Structure 1
Amino acid sequence: MAVFQEKLGIDFQEVSLLDEALTHPSFVNESASPTVPDNQRLEFLGDAILDFLVGEWLFQRYPGAREGELTTLRAYVVCTETLASFAEQINLGGYLRLGKGEESTGGHSRPANLCAAFEALVGAMYLDQGMRATRSWLHRALVQRSEDIDLHRAVKDPKSLLQEHTQALLHVTPSYSIIREAGPEHAKVFTAQVMVGEEPWGEGSGTTKQAAEQAAARAALRNRATLRKGVAR
């Protein structure tokens, strides 16, 4: 756990809170006598704190944005796929405590688990470190993703914009395929891949196939090196 705290840049005073944030309900359900509760209460708290702190950051970053636009941007930042990507950046999935069944079905990388654990981590951080430290940590994470958030604000339809780019540069129309499906039938997460010619340009996940394709297109647009490579051809 010390390695993970070092990665976070946070030294928890009550490590039990961090343990709780990393404990999936399946781990508790399969334990004969669990010593740590699952992370659902911290997830609830972290969800509320994220809404506030992300809203605050967006309010400060985009002084000209109207209420509706800020609401849409916040919904994007706190959605399952985006928070799961934040979790992936700190390898949060590698530290999750899961039940054997959940672990055997890819639970360490399941977006819903990563999102819930990230929210729980924020809740634990708030209880242990206070609002100021939590705000500072989260705002640093948001700054690292600011280019992506700016792109989301500018791009209403990533698939259409990517198609415009590839047709103008390469005279090729992107194609999409669903390469992975995870989760139960009522809460599936799809991963799409976008191909330009014979090359994969991006992957993205979403709770619908259409959302996954849009996420894949957005990933391709973020890859400036890929676009420059296309221009050079």
Structure 2
Amino acid sequence: MKITGNTVFIPGATSGIGLGLALRLQAKGNTVIVGGRRTELLERIAAERPGIGTVTVDTTDPASITAARDELAGRYPALDTLITMAGIMEPEDLRVPASLDVAERTVEVNLLGPIRLINAFLPGLLGRPAATIMTVTSGLAYVPLAATPTYNATKAAIHSYTESLRVQLTGSDVQVIELVPPATRTTLMNQQNSDVAMPLEDFLDEVMSLLEADPEAEQILVERVKWQRNAEAEGRYADVLGVLSGRYRS
């Protein structure tokens, strides 16, 4: 992915990593559009962040995704980059029947959402001379956090989906990148002040440096996430699982 000169759509970029990445990409000379469900929040971002475009989109609603795609095609015909940032993370106690509600909601947002977005935007991206799809997984795709079983599963599924997508697009002009964050200080799971989470600005600094250093990268792995990403290959899986299992334990 070239670091500048793109037109980038990031659904789910109204806060946290998504908004931070949107601002970093804008500062590098990209045209950036953020998407989200809450119109009032989008209006505030547009007012406070000059130059950032916005579009209303609910990634749990296929019709909303189609409408956003069609709107963006008219407003930003040069759109060449999709970053599927939208996601939720909620704890589940699988012994409680109500955990099924969390599981179904998580699958709808974290798994079906990116699949629907890619399905809707891929035909247009294939028509560009160069384009990028960036999916967002997690270190928990590689070693799970027991407190969030469905979140982990959806991120593992998106990793697998991304690998297949990349192979299917071999020979096209669409690059496929997987961004793999570690625990990061955002409001996701109330980690904004967590001692075990990576400071958001440090994460963004490293991500931008990695994108710039290797435009052909298939995965963006900050050093902090390699503890999880490489655990199985390095024979540390059980140890890492044990550490993670001690977090959020009820």
* Fold-level similarity (TM above 0.5): no
TM-score category (smaller protein): under 0.3
Structure 2 length as normaliser, TM-score?
A: 0.25
Structure 1 length as normaliser, TM-score?
A: 0.26
Instruction: Write 1 or 2 for the structure with the bigger share of helix.
Output: 1
